């Protein structure tokens, strides 16, 4: 990532554009650009694409960021991560655990480390990637994010009960963000339309929706009309069965160990 930051700075200087000037051109805050150039905040593909256009770099920054991500991110996840970062609206359903974009670091570490499938170093890298993804929730012009997940996730002691309790507290806090909605699917619903697995649908600016489907070994990105239509029908059914946002917060509070 150091090389990418150097490329951004070099392109900006070559174009005779200050951080404030770049901020005006791409409608990102100057503080965000400063944080990216000092390594305190990770650049997104959306930022790279807009910087490429503003600085007339011919897609260089986007290409370099893509190369950097390929060295860190599982190959099968790269395509979705790019779409997720560019989305203006994200809808996510998760039947077994809290969705990745809402996980605390210790909760994510417990999930990724479960079963000993990764070396400690690889597990930590995957945790860092997951935490970096969450920056889209609070970035400039964040997407609208709607989450539905099963009530059973609120009592599954991932890590231990203390880790779970801090995760539930985090859900209560992130639900206060104006662009985030959380809906809990009550256990009493029983069988529902998406027992087969989790999924996410991203609405991209001026493009058709694209979906991410979870499998036992890796995720799959799909954009065919039949799949999107089926997921939309599943989503509508799930949302109809799920509790309202206010009722969902009461359900989450019910499982807290501490008030």
Instruction: Give the pairing type, strands 144-150 and 89-94.
Output: parallel
pLDDT for 152 beyond 90: yes
Highest mean pLDDT pick, 59-63, 168-172, 223-227: 168-172
Which pLDDT belongs to residue 257? 83
Is residue 96 within 8 A of residue 153, CB to CB? The reply is: yes
Q: Which residues in the chain are classed under CATH 1.10.260.40?
A: 2-69
Mean pLDDT computed over every residue of the chain: 89
Summarised one tens digit per residue, pLDDT across range 24-73 is 888 888 888 898 888 888 788 888 889 999 999 998 888 887 777 666 66
Can you tell me which residue has the tokens 């993804």? 133
Which pLDDT belongs to residue 162? 93
Helix, coil or strand: residue 40: coil
The alpha-helical segments, DSSP class H, found in 15-91 are 19-26, 30-37, 45-55, 60-72, 75-86
Which of 115, 113, 107, 208 shows the shortest CA–CA distance to 149? 107
Which pLDDT belongs to residue 259? 66
Contacts of 127 (CB under 8 A, 6+ apart): 105, 108, 109, 112
Which pLDDT belongs to residue 172? 97
pLDDT bucket at 217, cuts 50 / 70 / 90: low
- Mean pLDDT along residues 90-100: 94
Which pLDDT belongs to residue 1? 65
Give the fold, CATH level 3, of 2-69. 434 Repressor (Amino-terminal Domain) (1.10.260)
Which of 43, 100, 85 shows the shortest CA–CA distance to 68? 43
Which pLDDT belongs to residue 229? 95
DSSP states of 152-191 as a string?
GGGT--SS-HHHHHHHHHHHHHHTTSTTEEEEEE-GGG-S
- Mean pLDDT along residues 214-229: 85
Which pLDDT belongs to residue 30? 87
Share of the chain above pLDDT 90, in %: 47
Right CATH number for 86-254 from 3.30.870, 2.60.40, 1.10.760, 3.10.310? 3.30.870
Q: Which residues in the chain are classed under CATH 3.30.870?
A: 86-254
Give the residue with greater pLDDT, 186 vs 25. Answer: 186
By residue count, the chain amounts to: 259
Per 3-state DSSP, what percentage of the chain is helix, strand, and coil (rounded to 5)? 55, 15, 30
Which pLDDT belongs to residue 146? 98
């Amino acid at each position: 990532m150091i090389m990418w930051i150097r490329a951004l700075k070099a392109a900006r200087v070559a174009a005779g554009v200050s951080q404030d000037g770049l901020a005006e051109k791409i409608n990102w805050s100057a503080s965000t650009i400063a944080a990216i150039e000092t390594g305190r905040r990770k650049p997104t593909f959306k930022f790279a694409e807009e910087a490429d256009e503003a600085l007339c770099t011919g897609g260089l920054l986007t290409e370099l960021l893509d190369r950097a991500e390929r060295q860190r991110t599982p190959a099968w996840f790269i395509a979705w991560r790019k779409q997720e970062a560019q989305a203006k609206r994200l809808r996510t359903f998760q039947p077994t655990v809290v969705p990745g974009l809402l996980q605390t670091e210790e909760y994510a570490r417990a999930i990724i480390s479960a079963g000993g499938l990764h070396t400690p170093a690889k597990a930590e890298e995957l945790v860092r990637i997951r935490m970096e993804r969450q920056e889209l929730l609070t970035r400039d012009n964040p997407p609208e994010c709607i989450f539905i997940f099963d009530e059973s996730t609120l009592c599954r002691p991932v890590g231990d009960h203390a880790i779970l309790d801090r995760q539930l507290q985090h859900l209560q806090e992130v639900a206060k963000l104006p662009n985030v909605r959380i809906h809990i699917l009550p256990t009493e619903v029983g069988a529902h339309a998406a027992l087969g697995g989790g999924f996410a649908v991203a609405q991209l600016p001026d493009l058709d929706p694209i979906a991410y489907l979870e499998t036992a070994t890796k995720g799959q990105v799909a954009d065919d009309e039949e799949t999107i239509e089926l997921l939309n029908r599943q989503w509508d059914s799930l949302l109809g069965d799920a509790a309202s946002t206010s009722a969902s917060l009461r359900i989450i509070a019910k499982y807290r160990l501490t008030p």
